[in-house]
Amino acid sequence: PLEGTLFFSSEKGRELFHRALPRFQEVSDQILKKRKWEARDLERLIQVIPHMGEKNSRRAIHWMHELVSEVIEIDFSNKAISIGENLYRVASRLGIVDPHFDYYQGKNSIGYLKIQTFAKAAYPQYPSKVEEPMNWVGTKEEEGGHCFPVQPICEGCLFESFCPKLHLNFNPLE
């Protein structure tokens, strides 16, 4: 059984799910016919499925890459990473951006470009690989993160061994 949300009752959610199934089937067939995809193109295709927005389509292509890479080849090399508050905070703490000068104000802002450059340098074939760990580290304490806006918990952080907060002589950009 489907659970309701703040926006939809379980009955309405079930109805919307059933209405989306034919489109989902069409998109699935298109994906399997081509087999080799650019991540951006695949993401746009998935977004034609009702209620598949940017966040869900990004998650879907990453799961496809993890679960069925022998069936579908996805090229992530030109895929920009999604930058939110948590990721930007971690990038600032790691010294990838300077929050006093490298503001993030959407695409093509200095902060955006520096973070994209870092991701591409770290993983040239799969820049979005930095997204999940950086977002996770920046999440709220109940969700397992470490890099809080105030009083971060550095012990046990994924980036503890090279974070400039703990190692003043280390430049993560290098």
pLDDT digits (tens, 9 = 90+) for 111-157: 999 999 999 998 999 998 888 888 888 887 666 677 877 778 878 88
pTM of the predicted structure, to 2 decimals: 0.75
d(CA 35, CA 41): 12
Burial level of 35, CB count in 10 A (0-12/13-18/19+)? exposed
The winner for highest mean pLDDT among 15-19, 44-48, 92-96, 133-137 is 44-48
What contacts 77, CB < 8 A, 6 or more positions away? 124, 125, 126, 127
Torsions phi, psi of 73, nearest 5? -100, 125
* pLDDT confidence of residue 117: 93
Structure-token pair, residue 123 = 């993983």
pLDDT class of 40 with cuts at 50, 70, 90: very high
pLDDT class of 1 with cuts at 50, 70, 90: low
